Amino acid sequence: MAAFVIDGKVIAAKVRADVAADVARLKEQHGFVPGLAVVLVGEDPASKVYVRNKAQQTVECGMQSFEFKLAEDTPEEEVLELVRKLNADPAVNGILVQMPLPKHMDSNKVLELIDPLKDVDGFHPMNVGRLSIGERALAPCTPVGSVILARSFKDDLSGLNAVVVGRSNIVGKPMAQLLLRENCTVTIAHSRTKDLPDVVREADLVVAAIGKPEFVKGGWIKPGAIVIDVGINRVLKEDGKGKIVGDVEYAAAAQVAGAITPVPGGVGPMTIACLLKNTVEAALMQRGLMRA
């Protein structure tokens, strides 16, 4: 039987609707509107598109968007000074510095200067550490969105064998931490993993975050497994036109899996939706209004 297709566009729209409802309630009950500041340094075309989409969706959810576009050759100290200003600005609840930064800048230095309570990307070592010890933390958006997608198909992931392929700081590692929090038995696989197909065959839940087109084969998937494909790879079709594919061999995997996310239209739309969700969470934390 063909897998259930987890529709990231629909679920992301629901996350954004929940954010908009939270924002309206905060405005009505507490008289304030959360704000997200996005800092873009340089002219990277993909980053420009991301930043534009983030700003647009922030406003659509009723929040304030503050955009800072700096030239490629901006001195590092100027970016650090901007982050200090945003840290101190009470109208700014979330700060996102779009990566990659130009080569003359130390990305870690910039990220570590962001107030951890405003670190809506969840990349600050304080949030990374808090996530790993099971404390309340702002967690990276793509993994947060991936968990929401998996839970949209099976609410209780407890006890599942989860295999995360990829161990990057922005996807693989936080994904593993979040799945541990969901009480999965988590294996992290990477380029040095032996017998990867056999490792993946054991998984009730597979997360592919590798960056290689259709790398995970349909034949590796355990029948009935949940497959979350984080990969975004641009490939050329036979007619010479470009298309986007994931890290999983979708057509074959969809014949075996219980549920699968498509690419595009799966994890992709969740990332910005979860950024907005993190911004509301950050605003609640800063004002001592956290949900249980």
Q: Mark the segment that binds ligand NDP (CB under 6 A) among 37-45, 51-59, 164-172, 199-207.
A: 164-172
Cα Rg for the chain, rounded, in angstroms?
A: 19
The C-alpha atoms of residue 9 and residue 267 are separated, in whole angstroms, by 9
Amino acid at 272: I
The C-alpha atoms of residue 99 and residue 90 are separated, in whole angstroms, by 24
Question: Does residue 255 carry a catalytic annotation?
Answer: no
Nearest residue to 107 via CA among 139, 83, 128: 83
| Contact between residue 246 and residue 229 where contact means Cβ atoms under 8 Å apart | yes
**Options 147, 209, 259, 282; binder of ligand NDP; rule CB under 6 A:** 209
220-222-224 Cα angle (round to 5): 140
Helix (H) or strand (E) holding 165: strand 161-165
Asked if residue 166 belongs to a known ligand binding site, the reply is yes
The C-alpha atoms of residue 97 and residue 79 are separated, in whole angstroms, by 9
Q: Mark the segment that binds ligand NDP (CB under 6 A) among 111-119, 178-186, 207-215, 278-286.
A: 207-215
Q: How far is the CB of 229 from ligand NDP (least distance, A)?
A: 9
Q: Mark the segment that binds ligand NDP (CB under 6 A) among 59-67, 150-158, 179-187, 188-196.
A: 188-196
Contact flag: residue 174 with ligand NDP (CB under 6 A): no
Asked if residue 246 belongs to a known ligand binding site, the reply is no
The C-alpha atoms of residue 67 and residue 73 are separated, in whole angstroms, by 18
The C-alpha atoms of residue 252 and residue 270 are separated, in whole angstroms, by 24
Question: Does residue 98 carry a catalytic annotation?
Answer: yes
Asked if residue 232 belongs to a known ligand binding site, the reply is yes
The interface mask with ligand NDP, positions 220-259, x = CB under 6 A, is ----------xxxx-------------x------------
Q: How far is the CB of 145 from ligand NDP (least distance, A)?
A: 7
Asked if residue 291 belongs to a known ligand binding site, the reply is no
- Please give the size of the binding site for ligand NDP, defined by CB under 6 A: 26
| Contact between residue 57 and residue 19 where contact means Cβ atoms under 8 Å apart | no
Contact flag: residue 163 with ligand NDP (CB under 6 A): no
Binding-site members for NADP(+) are: 166-168, 232
Provide the binding-site residues for ligand NDP, judged by CB under 6 A. 142, 165-168, 170-172, 189-193, 196, 209-212, 230-233, 247, 267-268, 271
